[in-house]
Chain A
Amino acid sequence: MNKLLSPAGAEVLFMGNEAIARGALEAGVNVVTGYPGTPSSEVIERLSEVAREKNLYVEWSTNEKVALEVAAAASFSGLRAMCVMKQNGVNVASDFLLHLSSSGTRGGIVLVECEDPGALSSVNEGESRYFARMLEVPLLEPANFQEAKDLTRWAFELSEKIRNIVILRSVTRMSHASGNVICGRVPQGRRTARFISDGPAMDPLRGPVVSTPVVVKHGLQQKKLAVAAQLFEKSPFNSYIGPGKPELLIITSSACFLYSREAVEWLGLQKRVGILKLSCTWPLPEKLLKKYLRLTDRVMVVEEVLPFLEENIKVAAMGMLKAVGVKTFYGKMDRTLPSVGELNPEIVSAALGKIMKVRPKAMSSAYVREVEKAATKIPPREQTFCPGCPHRASFWNINTALKLDGREGIVCGDIGCYAMASLWPAIGFHTVRTLHSMGSGTGIASGFAKLAAFGLDKPVMAVCGDSTFYHAVIPALINARHNRADITFIVLDNAGTAMTGFQPHPGIGESAAGDPLPVVDIEAICRGLGAKVAVSDPFDLEATGKILTSFMAEKGALKVLILKQVCALSPEKKGKKQFQMKVNEELCLGDRCGCNRLCTRIFRCPALTWDKKKKKAVIDEVICAGCGVCFSICPQKAIERSEAEP
């Protein structure tokens, strides 16, 4: 049995994302959409596994905005819908979200966004809670695993009550952490979709679903928010632990609640410090806040990324100054807590200890000395492309072509594992020079290509992955073609949304639930745009190099090279070697070779190592994926390959 379908009453170890998925099932969700992005992807992955059994429609949409639109249609038709994305996905969806929150919704609809404080798997430390305030919709933030499930379930009820979308925010340390969860009941039966729109214009359930008349609808939206605030005042999801008269009140939410509680316990401050945990964070429940602000004149706000809670609490406290008195606030704004990066129990302990003048027990100095000695012996372990990764070969090709061309061409990067080509240690040369949001590499390249008249006359390339292509590249590519931007655009097609776990996309003929779907072909789209298109295997260095060289020499056209090779970690490839690799020690000249260790210093495959004693290259059989590319890079032909036994 799938763990997600555990019976009511069962106590199960759920990842935060699984708890959210289970909460949606317990709410009787019908339609689930989203776009993959760490740390959010498992919510949809887990639900897609039970889609058939629970009569769900689960969709990986082309991007977050489309995902929210698809989910909204279900809500308009009276179904319950959920849309899932990572923090910056909310930026993509936000234009529609502005209008959706104004038109209002019908069936319960929840936008789940999972943020990544500290950017553990992101190229930004984006914050999406401000969207709730700016777009005037309720915001919920679970503070433990049980709550991740229960709050998700309640979010649907809240949405249906106020007839508007509700945002549920998680973070990496909640989504990708796991804990015990007691399951509730999953309802039987299925709602019927009915879209009624011929009723009176202002009828929320029978009229047209539009954001006009704008001012009237805006007023209605604010009334809905006031109803949510009323419900938050009495919500069991907001709670207080601590003494009746604390010396300091911590106000916190999300994973920071767990850090705060641990810090208080570690410093032995349970009788001196109280914690108000808010899981309903916008609009703030002001009466509740007033009750606890009255208890003490010192307040510490513990939260990650921007001081959202802190700002809102300060504004609210100002409005109730007479009732609660003047407060001293500690948080991000006075730098009691760091303004960037993720928090953890020791950061919160240090800040709390400073305020309360308590020192945590120190480690023995003898042990600290041993730690310091050991630390000098530990080599750092940098991120790198996996053994057999097609991207290493692709960037080898691109770098070689740029060097042969000699004009210092510019390569614009995009979002995926291949973003690592912008980091020096990932591969032995800098290739990618810009890195921003999804699809932006192609837009930026399109801009660079128009600067020749201003003196910047260089070949311009952009790279993007296959999933990114569908997500946001197409408008930029149309722009390049239409405005005669002379770029070489390279699709690193590794057959899936590899970085987040091989979710299918429009180029893969499969739905989230594994049903066959038509393929939208990247090559055909590019040809349709009037581009000159070539397809190659990045592992074939000779053929790929020739195409790149000819593309760079050709002026006045949009050129597209699709480099097709399946990701080394994909289920179809993993553990299967195409080639058995071996270094011929007689041919390898080692340090005496003029190549200056091209293989181990520049190519940087974790499986191609250097034997310090023999001073020769050596293949690590356990790690080698058998892609065979290193066979082509050795000038001595000392790396030999033979077909691996199946």
Chain B
Amino acid sequence: MKKISLAKDPTNIIITGVGGQGNVLASRVLAGMLVNAGFVVTIGETFGMSQRGGSVMSHLRISSSSVLSPQIPQGRADIVIALEPVEALRVLTRYGNPDVAVLANARAVYPMGVITGEYDYPLPEEIEAMLKKLSAKSWMIDATSAAVALGNPVLSNIVMIGALAGASLLPIDRRAFEEEVTKSIPHDKRPINLAAFDAGRKMI
């Protein structure tokens, strides 16, 4: 297989969100695309009890040669994909650096402390301004609305993967997505996932 080169080796990607948003599937699909392209991928995840309503993160480390720690060290994320806006900020405060690129879904999922009134949730414009300050490039897109328009909010994760392809931050394209979908997503769900990918790609 012809190897495409990476802008940075390893490239460290964090996919973050809230339990139930399809974080794990998004990381598997993205990792699958990169393994198909000939890269060595290490993913670190937590699930089980840790996901119940809490913040969820997948760490992906893409290299042309070596297995890495499944945990990205502090301050060393290259790309952050957030299914929830405040989770983008949370990840940046630990893993961000001046060169990081951020792709965030604009739709908030309120933490319990916000629902109960103990904490304030930052305004969308505040979030966008902070994302800009904490990254080299940032995009905020309404992936959930696009997914709802396709019939199921859970498709936001695939919309975000489409947006990632649209942002050209990684050597992935629609063909790579089609190949991975054929391998990992049940037959009847493939067209809707392709539609979600395309919707995301067009949002960048």
| Interfacial residues, chain A to chain B (CB-CB below 8 A) | 11-13, 38-39, 120-122, 144-146, 172-174, 176-180, 255, 258-259, 261-262, 266, 344-346, 349, 363-364, 367, 370-371, 373-375, 377-386, 417, 420, 425, 428, 499-500, 569, 575, 597, 600-601, 604, 606, 608-610, 620, 622-623
Contacts and interface: CB of A to CB of B under 8 A. Distances in A.
Interface stretch (B87-95, B166-174, B190-198): B87-95
B144 A622 contact: yes
B31 A178 contact: yes
A16 to B, nearest CB: 9
| 8 closest A-B pairs by CB | A38-B48, A177-B70, A121-B48, A379-B119, A384-B53, A121-B49, A381-B111, A178-B43
Contacts of A172: 46
Contacts of B120: 379
Contacts of B69: 173, 255, 258-259, 261-262, 344-345
Contacts of A385: 52-53
Given A378-B93, A386-B20, A604 B50 contact: no
A345 B71 CA distance: 7
Nearest to B42: A179
Interface in B29-58: 31-32, 35, 40-50, 52-55
A121 B134 contact: no
A623 to B, nearest CB: 7
A569 B97 CA distance: 36
B55 to A, nearest CB: 5
Interface string B133-168: 110000000001000100011100000000000000
Interface in B89-135: 89-90, 92-93, 96-98, 107, 109-117, 119-122, 126, 130, 133-134
B179 to A, nearest CB: 14
A371 B96 CA distance: 8
A598 to B, nearest CB: 11
A374 B71 contact: no
A144 B133 CA distance: 37
A614 to B, nearest CB: 14
A507 to B, nearest CB: 21
A173 B70 contact: yes
Contact of B35 (A11, A258, A377, A386): A11
Contacts of B119: 379-380
A371 B93 CA distance: 5
B15 interface: no
Contacts of A609: 110, 114-115
Contact of B50 (A121, A173, A601, A623): A121
A337 to B, nearest CB: 15
Size range of the chain B interface in the assembly? 35 or more
B50 A386 contact: no
15 contacts: A11-B35, A178-B70, A344-B69, A345-B73, A349-B73, A374-B89, A374-B133, A379-B121, A381-B87, A381-B111, A381-B112, A417-B52, A425-B112, A569-B20, A606-B110
B74 interface: yes
A180 B38 CA distance: 10
Contacts of B86: 378-379, 381
B87 to A, nearest CB: 8
Contacts of A122: 49
Contacts of B133: 370, 374
Contact of B116 (A176, A177, A420, A604): A604
Given A180-B35, A345-B69, A600-B117, A420 B52 contact: yes
A387 to B, nearest CB: 9
Given A425-B113, A601-B116, A383 B126 contact: no
A569 B20 CA distance: 9
Nearest to A499: B49
A380 B73 contact: no
A172 B47 CA distance: 10
Nearest to A602: B116
A364 B111 contact: no
Nearest to A568: B20
B93 A374 contact: yes
Nearest to A364: B98
